[in-house]
Amino acid sequence: MHTADLFADDNTASPLPERVELGAQSVLLRGFALPVADGLLSAVASVSAGAPFRQMVTPGGYTMSVTLTNCGALGWITDRRGYRYARQDPLTGAAWPPMPDVIRDLGRAAARAAGFDGFDADACLINRYLPGTKMSLHQDKDERDMRQPIVSVSLGIPAIFQFGGLQRSDPTQRVPLIHGDVVVWGGVDRLRFHGVLPVKTAHHPIVGDERLNITLRMAG
């Protein structure tokens, strides 16, 4: 190889792009949550102290592999009666814990960075993925105002996010997500199918052997 080739543009070590466009109104903001990751983890710990992670059952009778909890005025739940948002935790009968500012502020900032001004989440779903758990391909359509985007924050061990089209049968992109990544999708992409492939065993130095996903929405 000629020395010059070592310095050619396409051989130059470059940092990962911080913005990856996944669709016309969908973007992966790589590392966007890193500056507040420790604060987010403390927030998740305090939320789950009041509203523990638990498995839920889908309307079809399947037990979801992930465990979940919520904070904020509205929490996403599922049982045999359907998917919906609820003001009370069905486990405790109490209101969900308030949404910590670090979560709400991150959601607003990420949505703005993705081109959605005025995003102020009232619903925060927190999913916990242990190795082998997954989220099947689905659309998010339980929210009242579909003009508002979804903000999804990844913490802990990596996962592969599947991002499809408006039809279940459309091809899916496979997007590796790591600690600190944030995906925002809305507008023409709001109803795109998405999911998470079974998470592989791994270790994260701060979070441990699990993945946490914080999904923010304006649901009410």
Does residue number 152 form part of the binding site for ligand MD6 (CB under 6 A)?
Answer: yes
Which one of 15-23, 99-107, 139-147, 174-182 is the stretch in contact with Fe ion (CB under 5 A)? 139-147
Task: Return left, alpha or beta for 132; rule: phi > 0 is left, psi -120 to 50 is alpha, else beta.
Answer: left
Closest CA to 193 of 150, 132, 159: 150
Of the candidate residues 140, 181, 189, 210, the single one contacting ligand MD6 (CB under 6 A): 140
Cβ of residue 127: shortest distance to ligand MD6, in angstroms? 4
Closest CA to 194 of 217, 211, 214, 171: 171
Amino acid at 103: I
Whichever of 140 and 210 has its CB closer to Fe ion, that residue is 140
φ, ψ for residue 154 (rounded to 5)? -105, 135
Of the candidate residues 85, 89, 194, 218, the single one contacting ligand MD6 (CB under 6 A): 194
Burial 115-134 (b: 16+ CB within 10 A, else e): ebeebebbbbbbbbbeeebb
- Signed CA dihedral, 43, 45, 51, 52: sign only: positive
Provide the total of helices (H) and of strands (E) in the chain, helices listed first: 3, 13
Residues in 23-82 that interact with ligand MD6 by CB under 6 A: 76
Cβ of residue 61: shortest distance to Fe ion, in angstroms? 20
**The entry of Fe ion, ligand MD6, none that residue 213 binds, CB within 5 to 8 Å by partner kind:** ligand MD6
Does residue number 85 form part of the binding site for ligand MD6 (CB under 6 A)?
Answer: no
Cβ of residue 123: shortest distance to ligand MD6, in angstroms? 10
The DSSP letter of residue 127 is E
The pair of structure tokens assigned to 209 is 């052997």
Does residue number 196 form part of the binding site for ligand MD6 (CB under 6 A)?
Answer: yes
**The entry of ligand MD6, Fe ion, none that residue 172 binds, CB within 5 to 8 Å by partner kind:** none
Does residue number 125 form part of the binding site for ligand MD6 (CB under 6 A)?
Answer: yes
Q: Where on the chain is the footprint of ligand MD6 (CB under 6 A)?
A: 76, 125, 127, 135, 140, 152, 194, 196, 213, 215
